[in-house]
Chains A and B, each alone.
Chain A
Amino acid sequence: MVALVDYGVGNLFSLKSSLAAIGVETQVTSNPKTLRQADKIILPGVGAFADAAEKLRATGLGTVLREEAKNGKPLLGICLGMQLLFEESTEYGLHKGLGLIPGRVVPIETVIPAGLKIPHIGWNALQFAGEPHALFRHIQPGDCVYFVHSYYATDCDESVIATAEYGAPLTAAVAKGRVYGCQFHPEKSGRVGLEILRAFCEEEG
């Protein structure tokens, strides 16, 4: 069973439906016990970093996620859920993340040329520096996925496993051990997105 963390940030309908479409059993939950029992955890999220980080802290779910990740349970953060995996974000002040992956989250406008629209919204191609990571074993380099974001992760050391070109190579996906993050929305990226979710769900628990 894959637990979808429900902490009042974002809509889980599409994520739940997309996992159902590839035959994966899910449970939408805010219960720490369910998270501990799950084979894998997906942390979604839409909205502001500070608000989401505070919700994870206030509910105690942040601590559970950190412990489960340290125990080796596969964890996938999506969009804001991915950004929360990092050490900190500068969105409206400096805020601490879960610190599971080195790096920080900063405005896209600091790296892209003036004139490009923000947010980075729409379909963009995934680019891999070397051999594609296992998360991408069912897709091809150049396959497009759907992005909507104004901030991106930087200083991620060796964790970057895919980028998307938008005036600069923006971090599109990261992995460190069994902690994964996608800046894009696999649940909104058609067949390609489903294949990425499938690869994550096939990971040995």
Chain B
Amino acid sequence: MITKRIIPCLDVKDGRVVKGVNFAGLGDVSCPVELARYYSDNGADELVFYDITASAEGRGLFTDILRRVAETIFIPLTVGGGIYTLDDFDRVLKCGADKVSVNSGAISHPELVQEAAKRYGNQCVVLSVDVKRVDGVYRVFAKGGRENTGMEAIEWITRCVEAGAGEVVVNSIDTDGVKQGFDLPLLEAVCRAVSVPVIASGGAGCIQDFITLFQGLPQVDAGLAASIFHFGEVAISDLKAEMQRQGISARQ
């Protein structure tokens, strides 16, 4: 049977990996290529690279790094950040990305998901959504979680999957950085609405949070996290050993 995927996420700015806590207060962690190699050697099932650079210069630096990562490690690579056009898809796919994650780009360019899925296949298009509860309603936030779009999240995700998104990364702003566990009610609502793979993001603080996720919501396909892996609070090998002990399918 297919294994549950564990996915470290690397935010890259000006050639370095950074991680925000509740999307603020960034701090340097390590070299992206070295970190990628470390994760690949230690059981990561996939890596996500988010380019959080704003400048054109930083963008060029990012694609250089991506190319070096893709030459070094041989597991699936997803790339996001600054993806607004098919040319952006093309740019990162040529550097060795396997999937491209769209977030704000899908919001500002409503045709992007459909056009990208048509050209590169649904499996290549990952919808990433930042969700926050506002007056009890799940709302989609854009621009790194700073701007409330006013759109209802489940409806937005459903629409993008119908347009061709092949996977959905659900990032809960409410639980992100808090390390009290994934946002199970939100994830359950997403799993009920779509039949493509769902990747949980935001809130993992310890191994048990992943166990609770996969046991509580077996429909979730993968768990994504950043700082707990980067700072060594959770070793992926320990996490996977515990998953197997608990009867959750994991790749060693």
Interface residues, chain A, with chain B CB atoms under 8 Å away:
11, 13-14, 17-18, 20-21, 46-48, 117-125, 144, 146-148, 165-166, 187-190, 193-194
A interface footprint on B134-167 (CB within 8 Å = 1, 0 otherwise): 0000000000000000000000000000000011
Contact in complex: B2, A17 (CB < 8 Å): no
Interface residues, chain B, with chain A CB atoms under 8 Å away:
1-3, 5, 40, 45, 67, 70-76, 93-96, 98, 120-123, 166-167, 195-197, 221-222, 251-252
CB distance from B243 to the nearest CB of A (A): 13
Q: Which residue of A lies closest to B67 (CB)?
A: A13
Q: What's the Cα separation between A121 and B7 when bound, in Å?
A: 14
Contact in complex: B221, A14 (CB < 8 Å): no
Cross-chain contact of B3 among A20, A122, A188, A190 (Cβ < 8 A): A122
Q: Given that A13-B70, A13-B96, A188-B75 are contacting pairs, would A117 and B251 also be in contact in the complex, using a CB cutoff of 8 Å?
A: no
Which A-B residue pairs are the 5 nearest by beta carbons?
A: A144-B251, A123-B251, A122-B2, A17-B71, A13-B96
Residues of B within 8 A of A46 (CB): 121
The residue in A18, A46, A117, A165 that gathers the most chain B C-beta atoms within 10 A of its C-beta is: A117
Q: Which residue of B lies closest to A20 (CB)?
A: B71
Cross-chain contact of B74 among A118, A122, A148, A190 (Cβ < 8 A): A190
Q: Which residue of A lies closest to B98 (CB)?
A: A188
CB distance from B203 to the nearest CB of A (A): 22
CB distance from B77 to the nearest CB of A (A): 8
Q: Is the interface of B mostly helix, strand, loop or mixed?
A: loop
Cross-chain contact of A18 among B5, B40, B74, B166 (Cβ < 8 A): B74
Residues of B within 8 A of A118 (CB): 195
Q: Given that A123-B2, A146-B76, A188-B75 are contacting pairs, would A17 and B195 also be in contact in the complex, using a CB cutoff of 8 Å?
A: no
Contact in complex: A124, B74 (CB < 8 Å): no
Contact in complex: A120, B98 (CB < 8 Å): no
Residues of A within 8 A of B196 (CB): 117
Q: Which residue of A lies closest to B124 (CB)?
A: A46
CB distance from A91 to the nearest CB of B (A): 12
Q: What's the Cα separation between A156 and B121 when bound, in Å?
A: 26
Q: What's the Cα separation between A14 and B73 when bound, in Å?
A: 9
Q: Given that A13-B96, A14-B70, A190-B40 are contacting pairs, would A117 and B121 also be in contact in the complex, using a CB cutoff of 8 Å?
A: no
Cross-chain contact of A166 among B1, B75, B94, B96 (Cβ < 8 A): B1
Contact in complex: B3, A148 (CB < 8 Å): no
The residue in B2, B72, B98, B197 that gathers the most chain A C-beta atoms within 10 A of its C-beta is: B2
CB distance from B152 to the nearest CB of A (A): 24
**Can you name 12 A-B residue pairings with CB atoms under 8 Å?**
A11-B93, A14-B98, A21-B71, A21-B72, A46-B121, A47-B120, A118-B195, A119-B123, A119-B166, A122-B3, A123-B251, A190-B40
Residues of B within 8 A of A147 (CB): 2
Q: What's the Cα separation between A21 and B69 when bound, in Å?
A: 13
Q: Which residue of A lies closest to B198 (CB)?
A: A117
Contact in complex: B5, A123 (CB < 8 Å): yes
Contact in complex: A13, B95 (CB < 8 Å): yes
Cross-chain contact of B1 among A13, A124, A189, A194 (Cβ < 8 A): A124
Residues of A within 8 A of B75 (CB): 146, 188-190
Residues of B within 8 A of A190 (CB): 40, 73-75
Cross-chain contact of A122 among B5, B72, B98, B166 (Cβ < 8 A): B5
Q: What's the Cα separation between A39 and B74 when bound, in Å?
A: 24
Contact in complex: B76, A124 (CB < 8 Å): no
